Amino acid sequence: MRKTLILSVLLSVTLISVNAQKNEKEVLQKLEQKSEDYGTIAQKIWNFAEMGYQEEKSAGLLQETLKDAGFSITKGVAGIPTAFIAEYGSGSPVIAILGEYDALPGLSQKAVAVKESANKAAGHACGHHLFGTASTAAAISTKEWLAANNMQGTIRFYGTPAEEGGSGKVYMVREGLFNDVDIALHWHPGAQNAASAGAALANKSAKFRFHGVSAHAAGSPDKGRSALDGVEAMNIMVNMMREHIPQEARIHYVITAGGKAPNVVPDFAEVYYYARHNSRNVVIDIFDRMVKAAEGAALGTGTTMDYEMIGGTHELLPNLTLQKLVHDNLSEVGGIEYTEEENIFADKIAKTLGKEKADLAVAKNIQPYKTEARAYGSTDVGDVSFTVPTVGFGTATWVPGTPAHSWQAVAAGGTSIANKGMMVAAKTLTKTAMDLFKDKKLVEQAKTEFLEKRGADFKYIPLLGVRAPALDYRN
Minimum distance of Zn ion from residue 5's CB (angstroms): 56
Tell whether residue 28 is a contact of Zn ion (CB under 5 A): no
Q: How far is the CB of 163 from Zn ion (least distance, A)?
A: 6
CB of 391 to Zn ion, least distance (A): 17
The nearest distance, CB 397 to Zn ion, in angstroms, is 11
Q: Which of 78, 126, 177, 411 binds Zn ion (CB under 5 A)?
A: 126
Dist CA 286 CA 292 (whole Å) = 10
In contact, 437 and 96? CB cutoff 8 Å: no
How would you list the strands of the sheet with 268-277, edge to edge?
250-257, 268-277, 202-211, 304-313
Number of residues that bind Zn ion (CB under 5 A): 1
Q: Which is nearer to Zn ion, 124 or 143 (CB)?
A: 124
- Find the part of the chain contacting Zn ion (CB under 5 A) among 4-12, 125-133, 221-229, 337-345: 125-133
CB of 128 to Zn ion, least distance (A): 6
- Look at residue 64 and give its three-state secondary structure: helix
Compute the distance between CA of residue 424 and CA of residue 133 in angstroms, rounded to an integer. 12
Cα–Cα distances (Å) from 339 to 197, 342, 420, in that order, read 31, 5, 11
Q: How far is the CB of 15 from Zn ion (least distance, A)?
A: 43
Nearer to Zn ion, 126 or 234 (CB): 126
Taking CB under 5 A as the rule, which mask of x and - marks residues 70-109 in contact with Zn ion? ----------------------------------------
Q: For residues 314 and 317, give the distance between their C-alpha atoms in angstroms, rounded to a whole number.
A: 9
Q: Are 384 and 97 in contact (CB under 8 A)?
A: no
Please list, residue by residue across 368-402, b when 16 or more beta carbons sit within 10 angstroms of its beta carbon and e when fewer do: ebeeeeeeeebbbbbbbbbbbbbbbbbbbbbbbbb
Q: How many CB atoms lie within 10 A of CB 474?
A: 20
Question: What is the rounded CA–CA span in Å between residue 15 and residue 188?
Answer: 37
Q: CA–CA separation, 76 vs 55, rounded Å?
A: 12
Q: Which residue sits closest to Zn ion, CB atoms considered?
A: 126
| 103 or 126: CB nearest Zn ion | 126
Angle at CA 174, nearest 5°, toward 285 and 388?
90
**Nearest CA among 295, 287, 252, 294 for reference residue 272:** 252
Stretch that binds Zn ion, among 64-72, 118-126, 199-207, 295-303 (CB under 5 A): 118-126
Of 48-56, 75-83, 126-134, 310-318, which segment contacts Zn ion by CB under 5 A? Answer: 126-134
Q: State yes or no: residue 381 binds Zn ion (CB under 5 A).
A: no
Element (H, E) at 402: none
Give the nearer residue to Zn ion in terms of CB position, either 190 or 224. 190
Position 316 contacts Zn ion (CB under 5 A): no
Stretch that binds Zn ion, among 21-29, 60-68, 120-128, 192-200 (CB under 5 A): 120-128
In the complex with Zn ion, the residue whose CB is nearer, 126 or 363, is: 126
Shortest reach from residue 461's CB to Zn ion, in Å: 24
Q: Could you give the C-alpha distances from 224 to 45, 212, 233, 267, 293, in angstroms and in order?
A: 50, 7, 16, 8, 22
Q: How far is the CB of 403 from Zn ion (least distance, A)?
A: 12
Q: Which is nearer to Zn ion, 41 or 126 (CB)?
A: 126
Note whether 162 binds Zn ion by CB under 5 A. no
Rg (CA), the chain: 25
User: Which of the stretches 20-28, 122-130, 178-186, 432-440 binds Zn ion when contact is defined by CB under 5 A?
Assistant: 122-130
Tell me how far, at minimum, the Cβ of 188 lies from Zn ion, in Å: 6
Q: Between residues 235 and 397, which has the closer beta carbon with respect to Zn ion?
A: 397
Smallest distance from the beta carbon of 246 to Zn ion, in angstroms?
Answer: 26
Is the Cβ of residue 124 or residue 431 nearer to Zn ion in the bound state?
A: 124
Residues 231 and 271: beta-carbon distance below 8 Å: yes
Contact stretch for Zn ion (CB under 5 A) within 55-63, 119-127, 239-247, 321-329: 119-127
How far, in Å, are 79, 85, 139 from residue 74 at the CA level?
A: 12, 5, 15
Binding site for Zn ion (CB under 5 A): 126
